[in-house]
């Protein structure tokens, strides 16, 4: 395996520089592609993505890359870099300071490094396998809460109103249970930040309610959560991968209770 600390340093440098590009271009955003009526790509998404890809290719020319806009860039390698140049594009377009740059590294089938940078707050979340999770220079850990009625829950509710009828019914049932049985439910609309807040102990649960979260949205955050002591799985408790639907992350202590609550 390559030196993960070095890979993390590269990702941190690239995400920090990308953050400067985002802040410098807040007033120059143009929609370049409407992927569907709920999803956009801007000129700045493309600019940041190309910057990150160039940086990775210079350091690791033989590695695979999966990116939000460029898609799958396959080479013969056990390493896959997973990039989301802007998670929270709609917030970025409206100058709401809830958007991030996200970079992860997968080795074979395991996410082994994750970096998430919020350029509006200068919060750099980072982790690699076996190295712990950090916010800037401070080590972070998930909460110690073991009571579901005290749980602070982050839900990804993207595309809720576009689900097929049976999935809509299941989702609404899960929302109702969460609202009834947990302490608070929040939906920021930025998976990367919700996972980081879980890793630092602010939230106790993150759940992709509608199955709409993409692997590029969550890969780095899932690594950070695991290194902070959290648990990551799908609804059946299986390991996550790029084809997982309904990502679930918890502080580990209430994992079984949350899975029972979500069971339909």
Residue 38 has pLDDT above 60, yes or no: no
Domain covering 4-140: architecture: 2-Layer Sandwich (3.30)
Rounded to whole angstroms, the Cα distance separating 134 from 200 reads 8
Is there a shared CATH topology between the 4-140 domain and the 148-262 domain?
A: no
CA-to-CA dists, residue 117 to 23, 104, 125, 178, 230, angstroms: 12, 12, 6, 29, 20
Structure tokens at 113: 């490094």
Best CA proximity match to 202, nearest among 222, 176, 228: 228
Q: According to the model, what pLDDT value does residue 41 have?
A: 78
pLDDT class for 37, splitting at 50, 70, 90? low
What is the token pair recorded at 216?
């590029």
b/e map of 144-166 (b: 16 or more CB within 10 Å)? Answer: ebeebeebbbbbbbbebeebeee
Per-chain mean pLDDT for the chain: 93
- Which class does domain 148-262 fall in? alpha beta
pLDDT at 264: 82
User: pLDDT digit string (tens) for 111-166?
Assistant: 999 999 999 999 999 999 999 999 999 999 999 999 999 999 999 998 888 889 99
Question: What is the CA 245 to chain-centroid distance, rounded?
Answer: 14
Answer yes or no: are the C-beta atoms of 251 and 199 closer than 8 Å.
no
How far apart are alpha carbons 161 and 197 in whole angstroms? 26
Tokens encoding 242: 């790029």
* Confidence check: pLDDT of 262 > 90: yes
The predicted model scores a pTM of 0.94
DSSP the chain: ---HHHHHHHHHHHHHHHHHHHHHTTT---EEEEEETTEEEEHHHHHHHHHHHHHHHHH-TT-EEEETTTEEE--S-SEEEEEEEEETHHHHHTT-S--EEEEEEEETTEEEEEEEEETTTTEEEEEETTS-EEETTEEE-------GGG-EEEEE-TTGGGS-HHHHHHHHHHHHHHHHHSSEEE--S-HHHHHHHHHTTS-SEEEETTS---HHHHHHHHHHHHHTT-EEE-TTSPPP-TT-SS-EEE-STTHHHHHHHH--
pLDDT at 35 > cutoff 70: no
pLDDT digits over 91-116, tens only?
998 999 999 999 999 999 999 999 99
Domain boundaries, the chain: 4-140, 148-262
pLDDT tens digits, residue range 208-252?
999 889 999 999 999 999 999 999 999 889 999 999 989 999 999
């Amino acid at each position: 395996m390559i030196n993960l600390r070095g890979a993390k340093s590269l990702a941190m440098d690239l995400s920090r520089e990308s953050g400067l590009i985002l802040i410098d271009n807040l007033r120059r955003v143009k929609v370049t592609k409407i992927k569907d009526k709920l999803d956009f790509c801007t000129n700045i998404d493309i600019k940041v993505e190309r910057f990150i890809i160039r940086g990775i290719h210079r350091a690791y020319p033989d590695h695979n890359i999966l990116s939000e806009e460029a898609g799958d860039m396959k080479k013969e390698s056990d390493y896959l870099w997973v990039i989301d140049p802007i998670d929270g594009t709609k917030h970025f377009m409206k100058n709401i300071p809830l958007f991030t740059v996200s970079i992860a590294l997968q080795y074979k089938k395991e996410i082994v490094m994750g970096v998430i940078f919020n350029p509006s707050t200068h919060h750099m979340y980072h982790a690699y396998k076996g190295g712990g999770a950090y916010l800037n220079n401070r080590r972070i850990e998930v909460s110690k809460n073991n009571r579901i009625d005290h749980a602070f829950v982050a839900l990804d509710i993207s595309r809720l109103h576009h689900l097929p009828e049976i999935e809509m019914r299941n989702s609404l049932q899960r929302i109702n249970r969460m609202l009834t049985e947990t302490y608070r439910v929040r939906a920021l609309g930025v998976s990367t930040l919700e996972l980081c807040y879980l890793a630092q102990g602010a939230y106790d649960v993150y759940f992709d309610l509608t199955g709409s979260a993409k692997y590029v949205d969550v890969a780095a955050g899932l690594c950070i959560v695991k290194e902070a002591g959290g648990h990551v799985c799908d609804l059946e408790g299986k390991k996550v991968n790029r084809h997982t639907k309904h990502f679930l992350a918890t502080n580990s202590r209430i994992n079984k209770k949350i899975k029972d609550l979500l069971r339909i």
